[in-house]
Each structure stands twice: as C-alpha cells, then as structure tokens.
Amino acid sequence: MNKTKLTNNDFLSMLKTMLRIRLFEEEVINLSRQGLLGGAAHLYIGEEAIATGVCSALRKEDVIISTHRGHGHCIAKGGDLNLMMAELLGRVTGYCKGKGGSMHIADYDLGICGANGIVGGGLPISVGLGLTSKLKNTHEVAVCFFGDGASNEGSFHEALNMASVWKVPTIYICENNQYAISTHVSRSTSVENIADRAAAYGIQGIVVDGNDVEAVYKAAITAIENARSNKGPTLIECKTYRIEGHYAGDPCVYRNKAEVKNWRKEDKDPIMRLEAKLKELVTAEKIEAIHAEVAKEIEEAVAFAKASPYPSIDSVETDVFTNDPEMKEVSSPPAGDRIITIREALNEAISEEMSRDERVFLLGEDVGKHGGAFQVSKGLVDKFGPERVRDTPISEAAIMGCGTGAAIRGLRPIVEIQYIDFTTVAMDQIVNQAAKLHYMFGGKINVPLVLRAPGGTGGRGNAAQHSQSLEAWFMHVPGLKVVMPSNPYDAKGLLKAAIRDDNPVVFVEHKVQYNSKGPVPTEEYIIPLGVADIKRDGQDITVVATGRMVEFSLQAAEKLTEEGIDVEVVDPRTLVPLDIATISSSVKKTGRVLVVTEDCKTAGVSAELSASIIEECFDDLDLPIHRLSGLNTPIPYAPILERASVPSVEGIMETIRKMTQNQI
C-alpha cells in the first residue's frame, strides 16, 4: 500500500492477509495432530497484525528475512499458500522441494530471503541485505523480523551496531510476544522496552501495540521513509502475545489459562480488533465473504499439498553445491620468471576480480588503509574506495552474516577474518547460514562468498588462540568448499576461482607463508577448484601434504634424493571437493603413502585423506598409510614447544626413510 491514509479497502485487504495467516496456522495445528508434519511447526497465531502491518507498507522489491516463526511473514509478503503447505508436508512441490520445512521457507522472487531456525540468525544477514541496496543504490528496504528472545543474543547487538555505523536501510522488527520458548521476558531481559536498546546504537527505537495493525503500519511507514532517505535503520518493538504454544503441540505448562484467555478477548486479539473497526465501516457481508474466500484458499492449499508427491530419494544429495559454468574452461599458463610473494599474489587476485566484476567487494577488520592484519589488501582502498574495501567493527558474526546477506542478494563478497581462530565467534553464520542456505531453500538461491582466514602456527609465539589449523572443521560442513594454497601461483589462481564460484568457499591462508616467494605469470589465469597438483614426480613413495606442509615436504624430498629416495609430492590444493583421482593415481604408482598436515591428528584432515585413499587404493598399498600431523594439544607459546607441536622437515624425512625401508 505504502500510503499514509488507509481506506476501507485497505483495511479489508489487511483483514484478508491476517485471516490467511490465522487459518493457515490453525490448519497446521490440525495437520500436526494428524501426524502429517515431519517436524516442529512454530505458530504465529496472535501476532498477525505485525507481519501484515509491516509488509503492507513495503514495495514488492523490498526484502524481508524471517524467523523460525515465519509463516505469517511469508504469507504477508505474498507467499503462495499451496507451496508453503506443500513444504510443511515435505512434498517436492513445496517452496524448498521438501528440504526446508516449516522453519526454512524462502521465495526470493517475492523478496522473502528465508525463514531461519536459529534464534537471531537472520540479524547479521539483514545487514548485508540492507548494504546491498546501499551499494547498488536501489533504495530497496530490508526488514528483519525477530523475537524478544533474540534481543539477548550477541548477533542482535553486532547487527544493530554495524547497521547503524553504515546507515543501512534495514528495519528491525522485534515481535515481543513475551515468551522466549517458556521464559517470560521479565526474567530474561534487563530493560522494560527492548526498543530502549536502540539508543545505544544511535538509532530510533519505537514501541507500538503489535496487535493494532494500523499502528504497526504507521510505524513501519515512518521507518521505511527514513531508510529510503539514507537516515539509517530503525528498531520497532511490537508488543504482542503468542496465543498458542511455542510450537504445535506445546502443552504450555509455563503459563496459566487465564492469561491466555485474556489475550483472546476482542479488545486484544488482532483480528477481532480489526473486524470490530470494520463493522463500523463496511457491511457484515463483506467481512463474511473474506472469511469464506480465505477458508477455501486454505482448503485448496491442503488438498494441493496432500496430492503432491514426496521428493525422490535420489534428490537427497542434490543442491549441496551449485555448479559454476565459468569453471569449466580455464587456462593454466606457465609460471614464468616473475617472482612475487603469496601476499602479493592474493592482492593481485582480489584487485583483478574487483576490476573485472563490480559485484565483488571486500569487508573485514582493518582491511582499508591498514591493509588487513597481514597487509594482503594494502592499496586496494585507494583503488576501489571505502565502499568496496570496507572496514568493519570487530564483530565476526556480523561480518560473516553481512557477507552472506550481500551474497544472496547478488553481490560477491570477500570476507576477511583476521585469524582462523576467530571464525569460532562466527560459526553460526558460517555453518548454519552460509553453508546451508542453498540446500535448505531447495537450490533456489546461491551464496557466492569467499571467507579468507589465516591459519597455522605462526612461529612467533602467538600461542593457542592465534595459531590453530581449523580446516578440518569446515571440511565436515556440507555446503562449504575448502581451499588451501601452498605457493603464490596457486594462491592467485585458486582465489580468483573461489571469487567466481557460486558457492561459499573457505580459503585458508597460512600466516607464515605470506612472504613465501614463487613465480606467477602476468597474464590472466585461474586454477579450478577440486583439482590436485603433483608438485614433484617420484617413484618410491607418495607424500600427500597440505598448506605449509607442502613446502616442508618438498624440502624433505630434495634432501632425500642424496640418499637415493625418490619422493612424489601431491598437493590437494582443494580439500572440498577433493581430487581423489589424482592422489590415487600417484599412490597406485608408488605403493606407499605418507599424509602430512599441520592440524591436530585426531579427526583431522589426515584422517579424511587416509580414509579416502584406503577406499580407492587398498589393494595397491605395500604397507599401511602413515600420518604426520599436529599434536593433539593447543599450540604452546615457547618457541621450542611450538616447533615440536607440528611436523618438521626432519620429521618428514625420518618417516619417509623408515617407510621406504619397510621399517614401519
């Protein structure tokens, strides 16, 4: 609608939307009791005025991000009832092909950027949704719905601060239904009004009666106008009540019946309040006609869902990744005579891709004038400006979430986290958001994002919280590609490929190798992800090494030639997807294999590589696979202990000697 004065028809339209939500949710309860829902369904009954009032004020091109209680938001933004109901029943005709369910419905054509099963999970993403509008200069507004419980999550504070600093056009709608699962807001929140927290971030906070659809609409209109005028975000707290339980079937033992009964009264229930207003403006027949029309729509949606087929079992492994046609045709020119460092190679890759594609931008802590913690982005802000080389607050969850939000809206962000250790602060956004959105929403949205993170021991006494090798963690997450270059040539070619990839890529850079030098051609090239490289040919033993351990293994191999031992060194380069064919071909030739990695041995990268090799090459092995990996300890501070905690050139040599002499 997007107008200040509402007509009778506007109110009738709002009533229709609210009834769609109410009747949809009541049918969800019925289906749940019949055992037709595969999982929990979180109900929106009693809160219909909020989604309706806010979404009525939006334009079609504006976007929303929702919560686990998101049916109402999706319906209010124009979601198809048939597709929603089919998704809840796990049918292939559902919005997400039966892969998302009640908590994960999205329709990007309608600007519905997904409901989210993680409390507060959408808050950081919403910063990226708003930032995209700002960077593209489209004047689109983003709306983030969340509950009172989410206001106590760190993601709430990180997101509001970043949104305020950048003045992104995002509206934050807190649906304070007074209970976070079973805990009353009075026992979980330190302020009387959650909107009061807006003052801490220099933005406007508004409290509104969330059961009055007109009041919600007017508050939303004001916030939206401010957002479109580059005045930044607004926090609107809508006071409401969750009439039903936390989920369909919730026994609700944590609140008394009198309280619920009070909120069902005509002066509180949002639909009854609107109908009371309409009875003074229109005939009863018009209201009854809307009831009948909506009831028929719900009936048809249930029939559609029940008649729809379940997904094929063969589809369970589809949509984990999306294919990128650009990766099929690549050139790999000779390295040439130009010698540069890995730091310079990465800088060139980012610069070339930003010049090539205006959708690419870099964000992270100190990436601007400072050039990043390891100076990889030095000079880029002078070339591309602070909008595209964007310094962020120290807010890893918000940084990663912002990147994800921008990616799903068509940009191609490069997110820098200063140390891989700090990804632990952003694991929800990496693991539950970026990695899962493509699959969870049925392959209908891509997340073309690169997460750059320096890992490995530093040799500088950085100790346990700045020296970890966490690449195995990310290998374990379906939906993430994991890349580990070992030299400047690979670093540049792999990073360019990662930036062009339509999937989220974790790009692990070893902090000690930034100054490592090697030949890199001046002409354009990329190295496709998922292609291993034989760094040194040999006949006696295969060494499969990752990251810095490739450098160590090559040094060991050269020294062992003096002893007549011919070592082949294979660098996977990409851990996910893994080029097991190249590795297996080498192992079948030599019959012996040593896996060398820097991460902890238990459940680490070497374990996965070894298992994959055994599956492919068991009959070709002359002796068991051996592994050299980091010790199962946090990285110590003292230099002598730090060196002892990870494989060394000498240790690699000694193990190879024993293996080639069949001594182990």
What residues are annotated to the active site? 396, 466
Token pair recorded at residue 503: 């999937």
Q: Token pair 């002409």 is at which residue?
A: 523
**Residue 269 C-beta-side C-alpha neighbours within 13 Å:** 17
User: Any alpha helices (H) in 145-212, and if so which ranges?
Assistant: 154-166
- Least Cα distance to 622 among 557, 541, 543 occurs for 541
b/e map 19-36, b = 16+ CB within 10 Å: bbbbbbbebbbebbeeee
Q: Which residues contact 285 (CB under 8 A, 6 or more apart)?
A: none
Strands 481-483 and 574-576, by their bridges, are antiparallel
b/e map 499-510, b = 16+ CB within 10 Å: bbbbbbbbbbbb
Amino acid identity, position 600: C
Burial of residue 141 (number of CB atoms within 10 Å: 0-12, 13-18, 19+): buried
Q: Token pair 């996965």 is at which residue?
A: 608
Torsion of CA 480, 486, 492, 498, to 10 degrees: -10
User: 79-82 contacts: CB < 8 A, separation 24 or more?
Assistant: 79/105, 79/107, 79/110, 79/112, 80/107, 81/20, 81/24, 81/297, 81/298, 81/300, 81/301, 82/300, 82/301, 82/304, 82/305
Count of Cβ atoms closer than 10 Å to residue 284 Cβ: 10
Token pair recorded at residue 591: 């019959």
Burial of residue 563 (number of CB atoms within 10 Å: 0-12, 13-18, 19+): exposed
- Do residues 197 and 204 make contact, with C-beta atoms less than 8 angstroms apart? no
- Do residues 216 and 270 make contact, with C-beta atoms less than 8 angstroms apart? no
